[in-house]
Each structure stands twice: as C-alpha cells, then as structure tokens.
Amino acid sequence: MELFYPSLLGFFVLFVTLSFHFLFAQKSGSNKGNLPPGRTGFPVVGESLEFLSTGWKGHPEKFIFDRIAKYSSYVFRTSLLGSPAVVFCGAAGNKFLFSNENKLVQAWWPSSVDKIFPSSTQTSSKEEAIRLRKMLPNFLKAEALQRYVGIMDEIAQRHFATDWENKDQVVTFPLTKRYTFWLACRLFVSVEDPKQVAKFEDPFGVLAAGLLSIPIDLPGTPFNRAIKASNFIRRELVAIIKQRKLDLAEGKASPTQDILSHMLLTSDENGKFMHEADIADKILGLLVGGHDTASSSCASIVKFLAELPEVYEGVYKEQMEIAKSKAPGELLNFNDIQKMKYSWNVACEVMRLAPPLQGAFREAISDFMYSGFSIPKGWKIYWSAHSTHRNAEFFPEPLKFDPSRFEGSGPAPYTFVPFGGGPRMCPGKEYARLEILVFMHHLVKRFKWEKMIPNEKIIVDPMPNPEKGLPIRLYPHKA
C-alpha cells in the first residue's frame, strides 16, 4: 500500500489543482508561527505544475534541489494538490517522518481514491491500509516467501518462453508489467492460467487509466470507467473467494498456497475473520499495488544493463554460475536467491538512480516543530527519495552508477529509501526483491540486448516510464 497509493499522487497534483475544491485549504495555517522558508506559488495551483513538469522532463529531483539551494534549507514550504505543504529533505527529514508515523504525521492520499477502492466496511482507504499492514507481514516476510521462489521461477520461465524467446525485438515496459501482474495473480489468488490472467488484465488497465485521469464521476469518463472496472474485478474476486472457502473446507486447497488462503484463515486481534467482500477489497488493492513499482524497476534494470556492458557482464557471470549449478528442470530456490549478491547490488543502484517510489505524502495530525520551524496541523508533508539518492552528501558522485555502494553495511540509515522507511516501510520489500532477481536471472541467462532508441526519454509520471516503452533488440546466447 505504501508503494501504490503515494506513487499515484503525482498525477493527482494536476487533477486536483485544476479544480477549486481545495481553495479553502490555502488559507489554513497561513498565520501559524515561524513557517519554513518558501512560497505558495500561484493561487490554487500553487507550485504543482512545476512539481509535475520536472518529472515529465525526466528530472523530478530538480524541483527539490532548486529549492534546497534557493532557501539554503533542507525543509521548505510550498503548495501542492491545492493545499499548503512542507517538503522534508535529507536523511534527517526522512528519520523524523519515519520515526513519527502515527504520532505527529499519518499517511495521506486523496479521498477520491475511496471511490475506486471503496471499502465494504465503510471505512476509509487509510483505515483499510492500516488493517492490511497488520496482516501482511506474516505472509510477506522472507521466511514465508521462501516457499514461493520455485513458483516465481516457473512463472518467469513461462513468461519468457511466451513473450521473449524467438523474437528479434521486444518493447520492454509492457512485458515487465505483464510479468509482475502474472506473478501477483498467482501468488495472491492462485490465478495463473494466461487466459484467466488476461481476463483481469484489461479491466486493470482501465482501472489504472482512470486513476491517472481527472477524478470526475460522470458516465463515459475514464474515472467512471475505472469505478466500473473495479466493481467488475471485485465481483470476480468474490467468486474466487467463495470457491476457495469450499476448497479449503474440502482439503482441495492449501492454507499456505497464496495470500488469499492466508486472509481467509487469519483472524484479527478479536478473533474475527474478514468477510468475503472485505477480502476482495484487500486483494484488489494488492493486485494493483503489487506489480506497478516492480515492473518499473525491472524495465529500468533492462535500460541500465544495456548502457553498462561491464555491469551486465558481472550480473551475467553471477547468474550463469547459479544456472550451471542446477540440474535439468530444477527450479530456483531461496538459497540461489541469496547467492545473487552482485545482482541485487545492481538492482539497488538502479533503484537509487530511478526510484519507483519518488516519495510519499503525509499529513500533520497536530502542530509540531521541526528544525526550528512550525508545521501546522492539517498541512501536507512530502518526503523525496531524490533528496538523498542524488545528493553528494550521502552518495559521492551521485550520478555515477556504482553497485559497490551497497557492499558491506551499505548506505547510511535513512539515505536509501526506495521502499520508504519506519513503520510504513513497504511490506512487500522482500517480495519485490525476489521477483526482480528471478526476472534478472532469466533475462541475462537468455539474452544480451541493445536499446533501439539510444536516447529514449524517461518520463517520471510518477514512476520512471520509458517514453516509447523501451524497445530493445535481442541477441540470444548460443546454447
């Protein structure tokens, strides 16, 4: 959930600021104490268009670093999403926010999200996210996920056989999205047949397009179609859930086969089990949030490995040693994943330079002081991964691709934050690590490749997105 909802907020900046629904928010807290340095920009719009446009131009960090330099401060005031906002930068800002989750700040996203992800229990998306986060760790921790590495390997083999092999060229980004969505369907609800996955794929595309559109619920609008798509998917999920309950009762399904079984068999602190519709709500959010950011990272890995042949060779050598150690037909296991140290260092350096999560919003739940400045209750707070990832103070020569940064104890605390941090660190971090490394294993084992558009623009809206989808020419390794 931490990865999903905040990653969509960049789009909502444009939509919401072009309306006047939040005009009143400009006035709230405007006369409270010693506010951080900054400006609110144009009426209603604030600085939102500049915030967005730097991402469209492929340099989202520019909005942050221009203001750090201008105000000589790692905390500054602005106006985003029609509301007054404060941007916290640097490791100290990250530590403060991550350490004060649900004490001074709480997660925040637009109320319009509730229209596409309505709760069957009539609670807000924020409350549902809190409930879900309490349940997920038992399923998504490393020990629990070990048993699924072989399943990930099997899905990856089928994906590459279908969409990559025997092709001279492919468009990368749609394929990485298909791979991560297929995995999410299998590991969350045991849907793995390509035809069944495709049945969900189109409605999910409609849903995603609606989330990235003006949130006006009128017949025929993308937002309205997204609401209808979410209702369709929810009905399909309820049918799957009903069947699973029968299969579990009859011993035809395993309690550990996926997150659906886990949800059906896990009670809350009061001993109550979730209703079918409630589980469908949770699964819907997980299916959307469980693949978007990982697919962006996989595509970025393809990009950087094409540009850095010496890094590719290091990954290839490591992965081939693992491949040669396997018997014919033997699947990858967790021990194999643990051997992929250089590959994961490479993936981390990719996520440092092209973080799938650019940052996230919080909301002040009370007045508080930070670095000598007053932060009024109700103000939005934004933290940016780039404020540390591309900062020479924390990463010398920040634009240089250097996987060795992650050797040993790795970066200093609160400086490398692609998964957030603190109580709201993405619970799917280990899941993402496994699916990314399995993808890298099958990719380099099969191919070398080159970019067909050498200087293809990377648009950040809000995740890194190759403008043309990253078309590449494939060169299969000789058997």
Radius of gyration of the chain (CA): 22
Class of residue 7 by CB neighbours under 10 A (exposed 0-12, middle 13-18, buried 19+): buried
Give the closest residue to 303 by CA, choosing from 58, 62, 61. Answer: 58
Bridge partners of 75? 88
Q: Residue 298, annotated ligand binder?
A: no
Question: 239-243 contacts: CB < 8 A, separation 24 or more?
Answer: 240/189, 240/191, 241/276, 241/279, 241/280, 241/283, 242/276
CB-CB contact of 163 with 157 (8 Å):
no
State how far the Cα of 157 lies from the Cα of 149, in Å rounded to an integer: 12
Q: Which two tokens stand for residue 151?
A: 């399943």
CB-CB contact of 98 with 77 (8 Å):
no
Class of residue 200 by CB neighbours under 10 A (exposed 0-12, middle 13-18, buried 19+): buried
Q: Which two tokens stand for residue 377?
A: 């209750």
Q: Which two tokens stand for residue 198?
A: 């495709």
- DSSP string covering 124-152: -HHHHHHHHHHHHHHHHSHHHHGGGHHHH
Give the closest residue to 426 by CA, choosing from 78, 141, 88, 155. Answer: 141
Class of residue 27 by CB neighbours under 10 A (exposed 0-12, middle 13-18, buried 19+): exposed
State how far the Cα of 364 lies from the Cα of 356, in Å rounded to an integer: 25
Helix axes 222-249, 276-289, angle to 10 degrees: 120
State how far the Cα of 400 lies from the Cα of 367, in Å rounded to an integer: 40
State how far the Cα of 383 lies from the Cα of 377, in Å rounded to an integer: 17
Question: Phi/psi at 118 (nearest 5 deg)?
Answer: -70, 145
State how far the Cα of 426 lies from the Cα of 420, in Å rounded to an integer: 6
Give the closest residue to 57 by CA, choosing from 49, 65, 68. Answer: 49
Annotated binding site for heme: 426
Annotated binding site: 426
